[in-house]
Structure formats: C-alpha cells, structure tokens
Amino acid sequence: MWSFSFLLFWDGNGCTDTTMCPAYATCTNTSRSYYCSCKRGFLSSNGLKTFKGPGVECKDIDECSQSPTPCGPNSICRNLPGRYRCSCMTGFSSPTGNNWISGKQGHFTCRDVDECANPRSCPEHSTCHNSPGSYSCVCNPGFQSRSGRKSFQGLKEMCEDVDECASPRSCPEHSTCHNSLGSYSCACNPGYNSRSGKKTFQGPGETCQDVDECANPRSCPDHSTCHNSLGNYSCVCNPGFQSGSGRKSFQGPGEMCQDVDECANPRSCPEHSTCHNSVGSYSCACNSGYISRSGKKTFQGPGETCQDIDECSQKPPPCGPNSRCRNLPGRYECSCLTGFSSPTGNNWISGKPGHFTCTDINECLSHGVCPEHSECTNSLGSYRCSCKVGFTSGNSTCEDVDECANPRSCPEHSTCHNSLGSYSCVCNPGFQSRSGRKSFQGPGEMCQDVDECANPRSCPEHSTCHNSLGSYSCVCNPGFQSRSGKKSFQGPGEMCQDIDECSQTPPTCGPNSSCRNLPGRYECSCLTGFSSPTGNNWIPGKSGHFTCTDVDECANPRSCPEHSTCHNSLGSYSCVCNPGFQSRSGKKNFQGPGETCEDVDECSRNSTLCGPSSVCTNIPGKYSCSCLPGFFSPGVWSPEKPEAFKCADIDECLQDPSRCGPDSVCTNTLGSYSCGCVVGFHPNPEGSWKHGNFSCQRIPFKCKDDVIPSNMQVQLCHAGAAVEPKYVSFCALMNATLSVLDNVCENKTTVVSLKSTAKRLDSVIEKTSKWSNFTKEETSTLATVLLESVESTTLAAFLKPSANVSQTIQTKHLDIESKVIDKECTKENETFKLKAKGDEMKIWCSTIKESESTGINGVAFVSFSGMESILDERFLKDLQIPWASSKKKLKMNSRVVGGIITGGKKDGFSKPVIYTLENIKPKQDFESAICVSWKPDVEGGRWTPSGCVLLEASKTHTVCGCNQMVNLAVIMASGEVTMEFTLYLISHVGTIISLVCLAMAIITFLLCRTLRNQNTYIHLHLCICLFLAKMLFLTGVDKTDNQMGCALIAGFLHYLFLACFFWMLVEAVMLFLMVRNLKVVNYFSSRNIKMLYLCAFGYGLPGLVVAVSAGLQPQGYGMYNRCWLNTETGFIWSFLGPVCTIIVVNSILLTWTLCILRQKLSSVNAEVSTLKDTRLLTFKAFAQIFILGCSWVLGIFQIGPMANIMAYLFTIINSLQGAFIFLIHCVLSRQVREEYRRCTTRKTKPSSETQTSGILLSSVPSTSKTG
C-alpha cells in the first residue's frame, strides 16, 4: 500500500528501538550494547556525557542567558531547542545574515549599518549623517522639511524649497527677484546695472543705477542716431535710411537702418541708362553704346536722355582689318571677309565675350585641299597647288614620270629601276660603279668589270680561280672534286672535297689490307693477322706490288688463357671461354693472354633462372636450383631439363593441426603465413607465430560483438530499428557509444586515445534530455553499454605498448586517471591512490598482484558527472529484500564512479578496494548511506548493495569498501521511511483478504433481492470503489518505469480513495436525515432522494477535486519509487485535506445520529429498545467511523517514538478494511445471515414475525452500516 512509505527499515543493532534514548539524544551502537549522548545544545539531567536508560532527559541549554551573550554586542539572542538564533538590532547587520542559527558557517557579529551608504535613506536635497545604530537627515541650505523639523529620518519627510522672493526686501528697487531650487537671485531690470557690476546678486545692500545705453556705440545700428532716457533709450535712422520694421524709433542692435533703394523706382533714370544705388543716394549712367545728352558719365533725374553712338563711323573701325562693321542700336556687329575667320565666331556683336579679330585661314592645313603627290602653298586669303618633282599634272591630278623609258638614263652594263616619283641605276652582277655606290642616277656614272679572283675567298680551298668579263669560274685541284660534282663553279658556297680512293671498289690496296686515305692520295697496310712482302705503310709511287697473306696465331699456345679455346681465322684468331666461364671483360671472343676466363655465377646474373620462389646455388662451371621454405616442386631439378622445375606455394593454413592454435585466424601468404586472433582475443605477448609458439588470449574487455548477442535492445538498433521514430534517439546514442568499441577492437595497431574516447562519450552523457524520454529498460541498457565502453577503452589503452603511460583525462562529464604499475609495486602494504572529480580510489599492491595480470599491470579510476541523475534511485534492486526495492524513500547522493584493473580477476580480493565518494548534498543525521554497485545482469542493469560495505559516512564524504572492481555509487535512505518484512507481509496478506471479502460483499448486495434498498446501494458503491482502489494499488503502485502511466495510476488511486470517503459521507448524511425525520419506526422521508443524485455527489465531487488538483499541479502525480501523490511538495494534502474534513463531519453526524436514535427507539416502542441492544448500535456506529475514517489518520502520526506502533496499527486496520466491512454489513447482519442460510439450506421465507422484526431492526442499523 502507499502508506508503507511511512514505515521504517529495521537494522540488527541495539539502537533499533528508538525509545532506548530520550528525545534530543543520539544512540550509538557498540559491539554488545549501546550508549546515549545528548546532542549539541542539550545537557543530560544527570550531568553525564554518556548514559543509558530512559530515566535521563536531555534538557536544552539556554545559551542566551550566558554572559557575555554568545551573539555579541548590538544583537538579540533567542534561545531555540538545542541551539540559539542571533539577529542584529535595528541599525546593525551581520555578514553571515540575519536570523543566524548556531551551527551555520561563519562567525556572527553585528556591525553598524551605514544607512547613508544607501542613497534612498534620506530624501532629495538633504544630507545624511550616520551615527552608531542610527542616522539623521538634515535639509540642505535653501530647503526646509515639510514638517519644519531640522533633523529627521526616512523618505516620508521631504525637503521643500524656501521661496525668498516672497519677501519684497530680498532685492533692491529697479530689480527682479528670481527664485531657484534651494536659492534665489536678483537681477537689475533692463536699462539698469548693479553698482558692483554683477548681473545677479543677493541681498538689499546692492542698488540698480540707470545705464546710458547711448555711450555704447553698439546700442544702435549703423546709420542711426541714439537718444538716451531714464531706464531707456531710442534709435532713429538717418536721412536716406529706414528701419527694417518700418518704425521711426526703435531699440537694440536687432533692428537695422537699411538704405532706401531709389533704383526701385523705374522713373529715377531715363531710357537706355542704368541706375546705381549707393548708401544714402543713387546715380544714373548711360548704357554701353549710348551717351548722355550733356556728355556727363553719371547724373540724377529724368531730365537727362541717352543717345545711340555709331561705332562703325569711327576711325580706325572697331572691327579691325579684313572685316565688315554694321551699326546696331546701342551696339555694332562685326563679320570677317572671305578667306578670313575670327576666334570669336562670325557676326560678333559688341558686348559678347572675347576680342574680335580677323585672321587669315591657312587652307593648306586642311586635308584634301590639293591632290596626291602635290604641294600646297598658302597666301593671304587664298592658296596654290603644284606637283612634286617626278610627277606631272593632268586633269587636276599628279601622275608619276617613268625615267627608265629613256635608254640614256643609265650607263652600259647597268639596269634601270623606276620608282614612284624617281628612279635608280644598279650595275649588273660582275660589275661595279666607278664611284663604288650600289645605286645611282644619271649617265655620268660607269659600270666596270670586277676581278673576283683577286679575292682569295671567291673560290674554296684546294681549287683554282679563272676570271672572265663580268664573271669567273673555280676548278678543283687534282685529287679533289666539288661537292656538287661540277667541274667548274662559282662562290665560296661550293667546296673541294678530297677523293677517298680507299672507298672505291674494288679496294685500291687489295684484299686483307687497310687503306688509309690522305689529302690527295692514300696509304696501304696489312690488317692484323696478315703481312706483305713490300712492308707496311705502302704509298703509291713506291716500288713493288702490295699484297697481304694470313698469319696463324693459334700455333702459339700462349695466345689464349686457361679455360678457353683458340679459333684461327683469316687474318686473325679468337679466344672463346669454355661453357660455365666468361671473360673478365665480358667479351665472348677475345685475344691475348691478358684476358682470363672466370667462373660464371648464373644465379646472380639471372634472378629468375630457377623460377619464382626458388634458390639458385652456383657451382664452378654450372649451377643447381632448389625451392625456398614454404614452397615445393613436384619435379626434381636437372640441368638437362630445367623447365620441369617449378616451385609452388605450400598452404600452411590447410595443415592439421592448425599452426596458429585455437581462437586464431590463419592467413596464408606467398611462401609463408601469418596468425591473428578472432574478435574478442589478442595475441599472447610472450609468444610469436614466427617462432611457432603463437597463442590467443581473450581480451580482458568487451567488444561490440560481445554486447550485441546478449542484449535485445542493442540487437534492435543493430538490426535497423533506428528507422522507427520511437527508437531513433535511443539508437543514435547507442550507436555513438558502440562506435567507441569499434575503434577499440578493430584498431589493433594504432594507439587507443583515451582523450578522444572521453570526449565522444562526454557528448552522450551530456544529452540528458534524451535520456529522460527512454524507458527504464532502455536507460539501463544504454548506461551498461556506456560503462563497459569506458572500461574497454581504458583496458585497451593499457594493452597498447605505445600507450603504456599514466594518463589523466578531464572532460565536463567524465574524468579518468590511469596508472601503469611497472616496478613500483614492491611492497605488500603499499597502496596507490587515484582521484577523479573529487572522488578517490585506494588499491593495495597485493590486490594488483591478485588480479593475475599477465601483461602490463595497470589500474584506472573513472568518475561520471551527470550519470547520477540518469541511473538514479529508481534502479535500486535490493537482492536481500526484493519486496522493499520500490518502497524506500531514497535519493542518489554521489557521482557514479568505477574502478578498472588489467588482470583477469575482478572480484574476491583479500583486501578491499577503498572508494571515497563526495556527497552531492550534505548527509543528514536521520539519513543512512548505502554503497551500491551496478549489476548489468540483474533485470537488465540495477544497483545492488552486494559486494560493497559502508566503512564511514560523514556529511561531505562516504567511504565504501568493495572486494571487487565495480561501478558504484552512494544512495541515501531516510531513516523514517524504511519498512521491514513483517509490515510488508501484513499489508499484502491483509489486502488480499480484504479484496476477497469485498468481492463477497458486492455479490451479496447484488444477488440478495430482499436486501435491496437505498442503504445497501450505498454500501455497494462504497465496496466497489474500495475494491477497485485496493486492486489497482496492489497491481500498479510500483509501476514506475513509465512516467505517464505512473501518473495515471496515481490519479485513479486519488479518485477511487476519495470516492470511498465521499460515499462514506453520503452514508452518514443519509443516516442522519433518516433518524432526524423519523416519525414512525419504519418510515424515513429521506428515501425520497433519488439514487442518481447520490451517484452524482459520490462520484462527481471526487472527480472535481482530482481535476482541480491536476490542473494546479500536474507534476504532483507519481513519484520516483511509487505511483502515488507527491509527499515532498505538499501535494498529498489534496487527498488528506478532504479526508480529514470528511472524518470530522462524519464523527459529528454519527454522534448526533446515535443520540437521536436512542431517543426515537425508546419512545417508539419499548420492546424494540429491549430487543435492540444500545451497545450494538454504539459499536456499529463508532466501528464505522474508526474503520473507514480514523484508520487513515494513524498514517499521519507515524512520527516520533510512537511511529512503530502507529505503523503497525495503521497497516493492520487499513489493510483489513474490506474484511471489517464484510463482517459488519454482512456477517453481523441477521437479515443477511438468514439469506445465507436460506440459500444454503433452501428454506422457505421466514415467518411474518421474524421478518417484521428483522426489517424493523435492519432499517435503522443499516443506515449506520449495521445492516
């Protein structure tokens, strides 16, 4: 039942009985007994610090009566039970805050409060003066308080300005007083100055004197006259001027005397004249081109006239030479004669800009004036065209003259070349001009023959030059011929080449000879191996005939070296090394003893001689072939049949037994093989497949393949369930976590980076908002995979030799400290401490040795920040008390931490691993700490207390000892809310009995027709509501996995239990109305109330209460450990409030009903009063109140020393409510018993007397739940 949240867990020590020590005392358990000690702030009545027995009391110490007072000066001390409260007097404050209670941090002292530091302490326009414990405000000069007080406090008072101008004596005559905020000023009126010269002043001692404004030349504007008067003055414009405003007299420089513009009157000056206004006057001047009749340049009045001037009649003419002048009214017009132009343009009129002059137009500057090949000559006002030399005119064009048409233009032996406008003569080849010029003109020049042979470069070397008229020829000397083959030729481009007689066929020197060509001749000599009787180096012209005969060199045994054969040939011989040998120079054929024949290493010269995967062995004069290890040849090698020898690879992986051993993967390679381990295993560091002692050991951590087969949730993500919307977030975080395991297990050669792994897992922990949407199973599964991923990554980092260093990794949500134990663990009692995020792990050297680590010894400590809110107290599974797992008032109070070790042994250590965990919130005195470890194999992942024990618990830290390397945390359990097995058993057995009894009562009320009346219908609805409430509680109160479902269960329980109480209220009201309106024994007017209205009341009002409660605080439904109303936020009073109200109302109504019923029964029929014992009525009425109402009140009073008794009473009575109702309304009802008897024995209907008596008796008690 929900009420079990008020009960206690019991331990086995002497302090279990809370009555052993008095109030305000602490019970301390010892090995065989206990002792009591008063808490701080209390003193035992016998004066002893420790005592036993209930006779001693802990009395409060009144610290405030001590002298000096513990709160210090300027303070108020108030004594409290076991402590005291300090507060500062008005005007003082403490840095530790007011209402300081002893035991809090800091030292309480009262210091003066400087109210003046607060600008709001005094009103505006005042000065604040601080004093010890108080302050005062004084208005500034020129201000006075509204109340008239000189000093005051607070903002209710105001400083108002004093109006000094209200007194006529504040300022002198001829001045004006100006009041200002906090002061005033006097200023002389316009036209007066103060005697001191100040513009503003105070006090009547100053006077204002008249100012003579006319003494200041700036008082009146220019062109005006100033007139002074007392306190005033006036300005008047001079003749010829007027004020801008039009006034005759005025003041101030703001006005101006402006000149009167006479020129504004068009009649002031005559026609063709211009009026010029001046300051105070004007003048007229005739316009340009006009002259006054009197000859004056300037004049006034309309009597004068302006006449036109004829400029064209003047001399010299105004337009200048080569121009025409035309007179116009008041001006003239100029234009140039033909052939002339003006830069100002033609038809220039006087007055236009620029100066008119006529200049000659140079027509020759214009393109196209004269034809091509002509020259233009300009003249004044005209121009002339003439043809250039070498051209003649015709039809207004200039045509070229052909001088070469005249044969006399050039001399003999020359050629004439005509050109545009000229010609040239050029001497023919072989001739040159007498003057030496290449081109010339005129017959005076001559062309003479050139002697080319005088120039040695005319003919090439080895040739002779022959000169002729106008030409020459070259002929090669004997023994030479021209390159072109010509006998005679010209120019140095030809060459005379030597004739090579040695290249002629047949050879000039004969066979077996060597012919050497010489310039113009040749030389003969015999080839090596031949000789001539005429001697060598024969030149034509010597005596004899030159012939060559063969010499046999092989006749000399020294001609060839050892291991060679000599072969004579015509004119020579050759040495050839025997097979298997080669000459030192590498030549196949050679001569002379200087060469040697060395053994040929066929194996080094040709790597493929024996074929692939083979070994070639050199032998003097030959070689042999064999296969490399790991290869074999089906045929034996033979020098005669080398092609039959071929080496093929041996597949070692097919051999049995396997070369690599169990749990391994053999990979065949060409000529060899390699060994690897299957996923989840790693090679034994002490063995090597190269040396034949390879073996695989299981990796001391889990890989992805180890996680997927054993967990259904992970299999869903691995199988592609992430595409379903409800699994998207879960699978995204799961795959992100599993990717870490991929890197750890598949990257076998690279260094495992703890830092990058921590960052990736940190992002998974950080997404707390997504975790909150997962089911309990999904959360525990993901958390288990995450914890195993951290452990696997850390162990993998230890296994990599390159990562064999101690590391400290810190992220926002994850800290890891790893330590490699090399030669440091030399002493048995030596310990190592590792820290992470304020938590600590201490491990012994002996524990590290017990872990049976075969490789690197290493330990690591991990602390998770934020995991405590994910894996909270909902996941606690008490393996020793499984029925209490969801009934505790628990809270997670530490970060989740984990210990990691490289050895294969993880538990059963002889010395415990000590974990010191920092408390998230300070531990309270009534709380007990539980060290829990994470068990992934318990219901998919749960916290259990097995394997770890509590060693020490302080306010800030909790110390746990574990004989295993685990992930653990600390859960705080409140001492007042645990429950023992006896209460659990009583509650559940009683509830089951009640459900059976309620079912029997419901069947009774439905099937027994003789019982059907308004009272039994009310009993029926009461039993149905109570039956549904108890059934829902028994099956659904601990279904906390789904938050929404848990809230709905809590809402229905709230409604059903409230409905029970409202039907109980309906029953009490109906009973009261029946008894009050009783006029005859068996008649009640309240039977006229329809059952529909009663149902609306009994079911409608509870629904209204639940609706309002859910609307005001929807999060009040459902708690972390049970599906009931939240007791921590006060939401439970939405149930207890109506319940207590109904209990009080029912108690009043039932007591009142009993009083009325006694009177009515005794007055109606004395026989009825005799038959119906009053004690039975009293029992049933008050049993109704107690069973259905007062039992719930017992749950509220489960506090203090009577908590245990109240818990047992409440559990027994509340769980057996259904049994009590069945007992009262069915078993103790004579009418119901008769119905049972009639149904079982099949008897006829009872006699009339019995039926009448039964009806009479049952009608009254039934309304009070007795029938």
DSSP string, 1050-1085: HHHHHHHHHHHHHHHHHHHHHHHHHHHT--STT--G
Superfamily of domain 263-309: Laminin (2.10.25.10)
Residue 599, pLDDT score: 85
Nearest Cα to 283, choosing from 267, 298, 304? 298
Superfamily of domain 555-600: Laminin (2.10.25.10)
Residue 4 has pLDDT above 50, yes or no: no
When pLDDT is averaged across residues 1073-1083 and rounded to a whole number, the result is 58
pLDDT tens digit sequence for 15-51 = 666 667 888 888 887 766 778 899 888 888 888 888 8
Q: Above pLDDT 90, what percent of the chain?
A: 9
Superfamily of domain 165-211: Laminin (2.10.25.10)
- CATH 1.20.1070.10 domain extents, the chain: 981-1263
Sign of CA dihedral 1178, 1179, 1184, 1185: positive
The identity of residue 1131, as a single letter, is F
The Cα 702–Cα 680 span in angstroms is: 7
Q: Which range among 422-436, 880-894, 1034-1048 shows the weakest confidence by mean pLDDT?
A: 880-894
Residue 1258 has pLDDT above 50, yes or no: no
- CATH 2.10.25.10 domain extents, the chain: 2-61, 65-113, 117-162, 165-211, 224-260, 263-309, 313-361, 403-450, 463-499, 502-551, 555-600, 605-650
Residue 3, pLDDT score: 36
When pLDDT is averaged across residues 913-931 and rounded to a whole number, the result is 88
Residue 979 has pLDDT above 70, yes or no: no
Residue 300 has pLDDT above 90, yes or no: no
When pLDDT is averaged across residues 630-654 and rounded to a whole number, the result is 82
Q: Residue 1109: pLDDT band by 50, 70, 90 thresholds?
A: very high
Please identify, in words, the CATH class of the domain defined by 2-61: mainly beta
When pLDDT is averaged across residues 395-402 and rounded to a whole number, the result is 83
649 or 302, higher pLDDT:
649
Residue 836, pLDDT score: 92
When pLDDT is averaged across residues 425-448 and rounded to a whole number, the result is 86
Exposed, middle or buried by CB within 10 Å (0-12, 13-18, 19+), for 481? middle
890 or 64, higher pLDDT:
64
Residue 1253 has pLDDT above 50, yes or no: no
Distances (CA, A) of 56 to 27, 32, 60, 405: 13, 21, 13, 165
Residue 960, pLDDT score: 95
In three-state form (DSSP H/G/I as H, E/B as E, the rest C), the secondary structure along 363-397 is HHHCCCCCCCCEEEEEECCEEEEEECCCEEEECCE
In three-state form (DSSP H/G/I as H, E/B as E, the rest C), the secondary structure along 959-1005 is EEEECECCEEEEEEEECCCCCCHHHHHHHHHHHHHHHHHHHHHHHHH
Q: Does domain 224-260 have CATH number 3.40.50.300?
A: no
Fold of 403-450: Laminin (2.10.25)
Q: Which CATH number fits domain 365-400: 1.20.1550, 2.40.50, 2.10.25, 2.60.40?
A: 2.10.25
Fold of 65-113: Laminin (2.10.25)
Residue 1249 has pLDDT above 80, yes or no: no
180 or 707, higher pLDDT:
180
What does the block give as tokens for 814? Answer: 């994850």
Residue 442, pLDDT score: 75
Q: Residue 880: pLDDT band by 50, 70, 90 thresholds?
A: very low
pLDDT tens digit sequence for 986-1020 = 777 888 888 898 888 888 888 877 677 777 788 88
Exposed, middle or buried by CB within 10 Å (0-12, 13-18, 19+), for 818? buried
The Cα 740–Cα 727 span in angstroms is: 20
What does the block give as tokens for 133? Answer: 């414990």
Q: Residue 1256: pLDDT band by 50, 70, 90 thresholds?
A: very low
Residue 1159 has pLDDT above 90, yes or no: no
CATH number of 981-1263: 1.20.1070.10
What does the block give as tokens for 292? Answer: 């006054």
Percent of the chain that is helix, strand, coil (3-state, to 5): 30, 30, 40
Residue 611, pLDDT score: 84
- CATH 2.60.220.50 domain extents, the chain: 699-974
The identity of residue 795, as a single letter, is L
Residue 543, pLDDT score: 77
CATH number of 463-499: 2.10.25.10
Residue 1188 has pLDDT above 80, yes or no: no
Q: Which CATH number fits domain 117-162: 1.10.1520.10, 2.10.25.10, 2.40.30.40, 1.10.3470.10?
A: 2.10.25.10
Residue 915, pLDDT score: 95
Residue 969, pLDDT score: 92
Q: Which CATH number fits domain 605-650: 2.10.25.10, 3.30.565.10, 3.30.1490.20, 3.40.50.170?
A: 2.10.25.10
pLDDT tens digit sequence for 183-201 = 889 999 888 888 888 889 8
Residue 1087, pLDDT score: 54
Q: Above pLDDT 70, what percent of the chain?
A: 84
The label of the residue with tokens 């008690």 reads 1261
The Cα 697–Cα 107 span in angstroms is: 63
Please tell me the pTM assigned to this model.
Answer: 0.37
Residue 1262, pLDDT score: 34
Phi and psi at 749, nearest 5°, equal -110, -20
Q: Residue 406: pLDDT band by 50, 70, 90 thresholds?
A: confident
Which of 373-382, 502-511, 831-840 is the most confident on average?
831-840
Q: Residue 1084: pLDDT band by 50, 70, 90 thresholds?
A: very low
Which of 129-143, 394-408, 886-900 is the most confident on average?
129-143
Is there a contact between 348 and 320 (Cβ–Cβ < 8 Å)? no
Residue 196, pLDDT score: 86
pLDDT tens digit sequence for 611-623 = 888 889 888 878 8
Q: Residue 1263: pLDDT band by 50, 70, 90 thresholds?
A: very low
Long-range contacts of 1153-1156 (CB under 8 A, 24+ apart): 1153/1068, 1153/1071, 1153/1072, 1153/1075, 1153/1181, 1153/1264, 1154/1178, 1154/1181, 1156/1072, 1156/1075, 1156/1076, 1156/1078
Q: Which CATH number fits domain 699-974: 3.40.1280.10, 2.60.220.50, 3.40.50.300, 3.40.50.10420?
A: 2.60.220.50
What does the block give as tokens for 215? Answer: 């003494």
Fold of 502-551: Laminin (2.10.25)
Residue 862 has pLDDT above 90, yes or no: yes
Residue 859 has pLDDT above 60, yes or no: yes
Is there a contact between 178 and 187 (Cβ–Cβ < 8 Å)? yes
What does the block give as tokens for 611? Answer: 């074929």
Residue 238 has pLDDT above 70, yes or no: yes
Residue 1054, pLDDT score: 92
DSSP H or E stretch at residue 336 = strand 331-336
Average per-residue pLDDT for the chain: 80
The Cα 1045–Cα 1035 span in angstroms is: 13
The Cα 666–Cα 674 span in angstroms is: 6
pLDDT tens digit sequence for 241-270 = 888 888 888 887 778 888 888 888 888 888
Residue 1150, pLDDT score: 76
Residue 801, pLDDT score: 52
Residue 861, pLDDT score: 94
pLDDT tens digit sequence for 825-847 = 777 678 889 999 999 999 988 88
When pLDDT is averaged across residues 365-387 and rounded to a whole number, the result is 84
When pLDDT is averaged across residues 429-449 and rounded to a whole number, the result is 85
Please identify, in words, the CATH class of the domain defined by 313-361: mainly beta
741 or 1168, higher pLDDT:
741
DSSP string, 697-744: EE-SS--HHHHTTT-HHHHHHHTTGGGSHHHHHHHHHHHHHHHHHHHH
For residue 859, count other CB atoms closer than 10 A to its CB: 28
